[in-house]
Every structure is written in C-alpha cells, then in structure tokens.
Amino acid sequence: MNFFKIKKNKIPFGKPLIDNNEIKSVTNVLKSGIYAHGPRSSLFEKKFCNFTGAKYSSTVSSCTAGMHLFYFALGIGRGDEVIVPAQTHTATAHAVELAGAKPVFVDCEIETGNIDPKKIQKKISKKTKAICVVHFLGIPVDMKKINYIAKKNKLLVLEDCALSLGASFNKTHTGILGDAGVFSFYPAKHITTGEGGILITKNKKLYNKIKLLKSLGINKTFLERKTPGIYDAIEVGFNYRMSEIHASIGIKQIEKINKFIKKRKRNFEFLKKNFKVNDEIHILDSNNIKSKNSFYCMNVVLSKNLSKNRMEIIKNLNKRNIGTSIYYPQPVPRMSYYRKKYGYKGNEYLNSAIISDQSISLPVGPHLTKNDLIYISENFLSILKKFQ
C-alpha cells in the first residue's frame, strides 16, 4: 500500500458505530408508541450503573443539562462561585452560569491538560461552593488531590465526564470519585444516543432530587400515577429527561463499550509509539500509574516553532483526508462571552493557551482500521517534517 497516495475516503475525526442492533431497538420503540417515561431509560440507567459501578444514575437530555441540574439541586446559584478548569468545553462553565453562579477559572497542567490542583487553593474564596473537574480527553484527574482540597474547604465536587467513559482513578470509575459525575452521549463521544447524558452518584438524596428536578418537579412520574392526569408540582424544575428513543440506542451502545475502549487504547498506543521519532511534539497522556485513560482523542502539542504552521499542517492533513479537531479552540475565559463578562488579562491560563493554540487533535476512535492508523502516522510525520 502506498501511504503517500491520498486515501479516497475521509477518515473522520469521530464516527458513531451504529449497527442493526441500534436500528432494531429504535424501531421497536417507535412501534411501541411509548416515547417518554418508559422502561428503556431505566434499563439504560441500570446498565450504566453496572458498567461504572455507580450506585445511582439518572439519564438526562445532555451533559450540560445534567451539570446544570447538579448545581440547581444543591442550591448553588447567585452569589456563589464554582472552580472550573480554563481548558475545557464551554459547557462546563455555561452550566455554572446557567445556575446563576460565577465560574472561577484555574489553569491546567501542561502534561495532561487537566486542572492543576496546585493552582486551586488560591482561587477559593468565601463564596466558593464547588469544584468542577474535567477528565480532559479521558485522562483522569488526580482525584485524591481534588478531594483533599474539597474536604479541607468544605466544597462539593462535580466531575464533568463528557470525555471519560471507561476512565478510572485508583480502580474507581470517573464520576463516582466526587459527589456526582455527568457523561455526554453526543455523537463523537465514547458511546452515543444522538444527544443525551447521564448523571451518576453514590448519594441517594441527590439522586432523588435530580430525578424530581429533571422532570419539572412533579411528584409522580407518568408510570407512578394511579389516576392518569393526577399529580402535583412540589418544586420548580426542568424538562431535562431523555426520551425512550434515545435511551434505546444507549442500551445497545453500552453493551459495546469494552470493545470500543480496547480499540481506542490500541489506536492511541500505536500512534504514540510511531510519533516518538519526532521530538518537536508532545502528546497529552496520563502521567499517573493510578489512572486509566479512556482515550477520547490524541492531542499533539506542537513545539512553539512548529505551531506557527499549525493551520497549514491541519490543512495538509485534511487535504489528505485525515479528519482533525482542536480540543479546545480557546481557554474558556478567552471566549467572547466570558472575556466580556469577567475580563481577560492575556497573561493568565498560559498552559491552557498553549494547548488551545499549539495542538492538533487526531482521531483514535474504534472506527479506525489498522491501515488508517498507518496512513495517519506516515502522513502526519511527513507533513510535520515539511514544516520543521
């Protein structure tokens, strides 16, 4: 095979792997006529608990919705502050804003992209109520350090697990290391339901509150009503439920998660090994033996010199039909909404800025074949050489 000949079909950055099982499952729901409040979301929750080891789980309409619910349920709002990483998806900070609280950004470690525990304490004030961590690209945060800081300052801990399904720290799955964790099932994620999310926790009281508030604060679910149409609103809440159609896809997807993670690990390790020959790049990965990565994608951080040509390198990769992305395009405090609202001095969050401005995200998903991996690695290395 000639790897310098352009591949006919594009290698996508992310691709949901859906087969007849999901299609049949959705068809069955459509035929059943039960599209909400049915048994599928409960079954998906049960299967999710089995996989993660969580005691309780509650499906939600997205990861953002689940994180918003967490703050709302715990009364975190106006006048409160929440510590969040600067290097993350804007949704992590938006959930805090939606609750009416203020996100206080903390820079990340350059080796992992995760929030730097050493930089948290000085950002904690009397108003701080919680720390939200993100297991960046599936690399688990050192939760021992985070929980120590949280305990010392009496703070709650939320884990944004949008990219960390299958990742664990100290043999415990991400999401149950703090007070709660929320996952995303957006199409590019480890598993998908189209759109969707799930909150997991070991706290029964929090779980019950989440269940109530995701369903408009109504005291009886549709199935619990003895007389149809009779219920009471005991709290103000949202409609953040997951539909049965989405849940039916999740049930089939979660059955494949071990196979998916195995392939992601193989793909990541293959590329990492091949990229070793170039010392002008640095690959974000776990540096803690207690951490088990779930390999969402591979962030290759280019040296300062090479990064001047980042856009050209990306263009070359895309021209050669290799899908790429950037995780994430800007540190969140630099995004227009946050910059305007809270000001951004330009000399803060320097590691986050390096990751945003100097990295390229490459695919490692289970959709890649062995030939795709060889093609990516040969082409990436030769493109880098052109710009060194």
Task: Work out whether 88 is an interface residue with ligand PLP (CB under 6 A).
Answer: yes
Nearer CB in complex with ligand PLP: 91/213: 91
Query: How far are the Cα atoms of 179, 199, 214 from residue 147, in angstroms, in the given order?
Result: 10, 19, 27
Task: Work out whether 131 is an interface residue with ligand PLP (CB under 6 A).
Answer: no
Residue count (the chain): 388
Residue 104 near residue 121, CB atoms below 8 Å: no
Taking the complex as a whole, how short is the minimal distance between the CB of residue 42 and ligand PLP, in angstroms?
20
Q: Which stretch binds ligand PLP (CB under 6 A): 83-91, 96-104, 121-129, 361-369?
A: 83-91
Q: Which stretch binds ligand PLP (CB under 6 A): 106-114, 158-166, 201-209, 249-257?
A: 158-166
Nearer CB in complex with ligand PLP: 63/108: 63
Task: Work out whether 140 is an interface residue with ligand PLP (CB under 6 A).
Answer: no
Could you tell me which residues are beta bridge partners of residue 122?
none
Taking the complex as a whole, how short is the minimal distance between the CB of residue 175 and ligand PLP, in angstroms?
13
Nearer CB in complex with ligand PLP: 49/188: 188
Residue of the chain from 44, 72, 105, 186 that contacts ligand PLP (CB under 6 A): 186
Q: Angle between the 63-73 and 204-213 helix axes, to the nearest 10 degrees?
A: 110
Task: Work out whether 197 is an interface residue with ligand PLP (CB under 6 A).
Answer: yes
Task: Work out whether 316 is an interface residue with ligand PLP (CB under 6 A).
Answer: no
Residue of the chain from 91, 141, 257, 322 that contacts ligand PLP (CB under 6 A): 91
The span from the CA of 315 to the CA of 309, in Å, is 10
Strand 180-184: give its sheet, edge to edge.
56-60, 197-201, 180-184, 156-160, 128-134, 81-85, 102-106
Give the amino acid at 212.
L
Cβ partners under 8 Å of residue 311, min gap 6: none
Residue of the chain from 57, 58, 59, 64 that contacts ligand PLP (CB under 6 A): 64
Task: Work out whether 89 is an interface residue with ligand PLP (CB under 6 A).
Answer: yes
Cβ partners under 8 Å of residue 316, min gap 6: 383, 386
Residue 182 near residue 66, CB atoms below 8 Å: yes
Residues at the site binding ligand PLP, with contacts judged by CB under 6 A: 62-64, 88-89, 91-92, 134, 160, 162-163, 184, 186, 197
